Chain A
Amino acid sequence: MNVPAISIRGLQKYYGTYHALRSIDLTVKRGERIVVCGPSGSGKSTMIRCINRLEEHDGGTINVLGTELDDNIGNIDEIRREVGMVFQHFNLFPHMTVLENCTLAPMLVRKTPLAEAEALAMRYLEKVRIPDQADKYPGQLSGGQQQRVAIARSLCMKPEILLFDEPTSALDPEMISEVLDVMTSLASEGMTMICVTHEMGFARKVADRVIFMDRGEIVEQGSPEEFFTAPKTDRGAQFLSQVLGH
């Protein structure tokens, strides 16, 4: 239990010649809730996508729950089983019902029997408050409902860590809060979370730490109180004035 949930050292990422991540260092304790913010193109998505190998890093080390993320396929699979991800555009499987979306991975990856997987799925669908939509297809749901299904789908793998990449930025304003409510309740249950989001209210309420990125670097980090009221850097202050300014 002394092993941190995530430990990133000197992480480098290039897209061709473009230097997207410049030596990122980050340690996330178990149960810690982190909000990542920063201007567009600053590398927030790239960083969290490196954690479950949706992007391959070019330098430095990433260690997740004691497992080193390297070219070893076994390690990658092990990490992906323990790290869930929620995407901006939900990425539900459109040809499967909500229930099938939720049972697929447990059955294929964890070899959970069908009945058990369905019971598990229903439990998490209740948790995100849409058990009545289980037999519908994703295309028949609203954006907010789809995103909650996506969260339930991740939870069905019983991950240790959940990554969120702007989970509410594709949603209409009236649906944002239903998703944030679910995320807040997850946070209160001790899930280790890294959320890329510009929802400052959410950050203030649940985050243990806010990380501010700009141009591929972590420019500053601290408690939400510190960061939102008195940013230590000019870039941080400038970003906050832009986000909160309108």
Chain B
Amino acid sequence: MTAIDTGPVPLGPTQLRRLRRDYFSSPVSTLISVLCFGLLLSIGWVLFDWGVLRATFAAEARQPECQAAGGACWSVIANRWRLIFFGLYPYEEQWRSALACVAVIVTMVLSCIPVFWTGKRLTAVWALGFLTFYVLMKGGMLGLLLVREEQWGGLALTLFIFVATAIIGMPLAIAFALLRNSTLPWIAKTTGAVIDAVRSLPLISILFTFAIVLPFVLPDFVLQEKLYRVIAGSALFFAAYQAEIIRGGMQGVAKGQDEAAMSLGIPYRHRVARILLPQAFRNALPATINQFVITFMETSLVVIVGFFELLSSANAAFGTSDWTFAFVEVYVFVAFLYFIFVFGLSRYGAYLERRMATGQR
């Protein structure tokens, strides 16, 4: 397309031609491409040299050996990974926490597969996932040792808080969004006030209120366990933001859609479930994925009400005098765990967008 292309185009594999078009179409772009490529290469080399070539992997190695090698000291992970994954969960019982993690991940993955997107199937998956997680983690039945919620921690806790927040928060968000669009003004106004109130508070203050203040207000039998109160608070916070995202998506659905469905005699609940929400979610997909990512990151805030989630377990992992020097490696490792999750989520978002695009022209 550019001046350089005027000569006869040598026929090569498509990839080669595309490469030329995208990166080497003019002298300036060639220069920029080469510079960027060189920069990437050198950064990559430095990281590879530090993280692999000169790194120490042996579990027996300590500070002297690591520093002699001069690279990353992955020995800290080899020694402390159990703390990072399971927190203060009793050492002998940590296989249960590992299985519980698997249960949460399976629940999460199944919920992402369109085949399961019917009310009954989702409810079944969630109920089963939660039950498995709860029995495994808490025990006190089936011959399993009782492990109280205060002892839960690490990756298992982070995953559980996130998934529970999403599973409770999403239906709540849909309800909020629908109520805010209600034709009855007092319902719409009240819901709007609740949403705005929650959104005007920082998450920390909501967690604090639910964890510390609420027990003084509520009778004993309601949400006794602090963990569940914290999840309730975090779900409420998620719902307030997600409700506005969904409402925004709903505004992008033409009014004629609902009118057409009404004229066919389709009752309200089906109009919402089959016409309004699928289109609203399609419009709101990028923002929704974003909200999930933020929520996952924000689970680390539960540390302020005394929970020992992934990030604070990681802090503890280099908290002994043996390992204080290796905090970078621990953070890199935890960052990698977060990255796997967030990257997976964004790929999933891209998949959904592609899947939904088949419906459009």
* B-binding residues in A (CB < 8 A): 52-54, 77, 80-81, 83-85, 87, 89, 91-96, 104-105, 108-109, 137, 139-140, 150, 153-154, 157, 163
**Docked-complex contact B359 and A105, CB < 8 angstroms:** no
**Docked-complex contact A85 and B263, CB < 8 angstroms:** yes
Number of interface residues of B (CB under 8 A): 23
Within the assembled complex, what's the spacing in Å between the Cα atoms of A94 and B358?
10
Within the assembled complex, what's the spacing in Å between the Cα atoms of A105 and B263?
10
Name B251-272 residues within 8 Å CB distance of A.
254, 256-257, 259-267, 270
Instruction: Write out the residue numbers on chain B whose beta carbons fall within 8 Å of the beta carbon of A105.
Output: 261, 264-266
**Docked-complex contact A157 and B259, CB < 8 angstroms:** no
**Docked-complex contact A91 and B260, CB < 8 angstroms:** yes
Chain B binding surface, main DSSP class: helix
Within the assembled complex, what's the spacing in Å between the Cα atoms of A83 and B267?
15
Cβ of B282 < 8 Å from any Cβ of A? yes
Name the CB-closest residue of A to B273: A108
Residue of A92, A96, A108 touching B266 (CB-CB under 8 A): A108
Instruction: Write out the residue numbers on chain A whose beta carbons fall within 8 Å of the beta carbon of B265.
Output: 77, 80-81, 105, 109, 157
**Docked-complex contact A109 and B266, CB < 8 angstroms:** yes
B277–chain A nearest beta-carbon distance, Å = 10
Name the CB-closest residue of B to A52: B263
Within the assembled complex, what's the spacing in Å between the Cα atoms of A201 and B360?
35
**Docked-complex contact B254 and A108, CB < 8 angstroms:** no
Q: A108-B274, A137-B360, A139-B360 are in contact. Are A93 and B266 (CB under 8 A)?
A: no
Within the assembled complex, what's the spacing in Å between the Cα atoms of A153 and B264?
9
Name the CB-closest residue of A to B278: A95
Q: A84-B264, A93-B257, A104-B266 are in contact. Are A139 and B361 (CB under 8 A)?
A: yes
Chain A binding surface, main DSSP class: mixed
B306–chain A nearest beta-carbon distance, Å = 45
Residue of A53, A87, A109, A137 touching B359 (CB-CB under 8 A): A137
**Docked-complex contact A95 and B263, CB < 8 angstroms:** no
Name B267-294 residues within 8 Å CB distance of A.
267, 270, 274-275, 278-279, 282
Q: Give 9 new A-B contacts, CB below 8 A, not counting A87-B260, A137-B358, A154-B263.
A: A53-B262, A84-B263, A87-B259, A89-B256, A91-B254, A96-B359, A109-B265, A150-B260, A163-B263
Cβ of B31 < 8 Å from any Cβ of A? no
**Docked-complex contact A92 and B260, CB < 8 angstroms:** yes
Cβ of B356 < 8 Å from any Cβ of A? yes
Q: A108-B270, A140-B361 are in contact. Are A95 and B262 (CB under 8 A)?
A: no
**Docked-complex contact A80 and B279, CB < 8 angstroms:** no
Residue of A80, A92, A93, A94 touching B263 (CB-CB under 8 A): A80
B256–chain A nearest beta-carbon distance, Å = 4
- What are 8 A-B pairs at a CB distance below 8 A? A52-B263, A54-B259, A80-B263, A85-B260, A89-B254, A94-B279, A140-B361, A157-B265
Q: A108-B274, A137-B358, A139-B360 are in contact. Are A91 and B266 (CB under 8 A)?
A: no
B214–chain A nearest beta-carbon distance, Å = 39
Name the CB-closest residue of B to A156: B264
Within the assembled complex, what's the spacing in Å between the Cα atoms of A15 and B265?
24
A233–chain B nearest beta-carbon distance, Å = 32
Name B57-78 residues within 8 Å CB distance of A.
none
Instruction: Write out the residue numbers on chain B whose beta carbons fall within 8 Å of the beta carbon of A150.
Output: 260
**Docked-complex contact B356 and A83, CB < 8 angstroms:** no
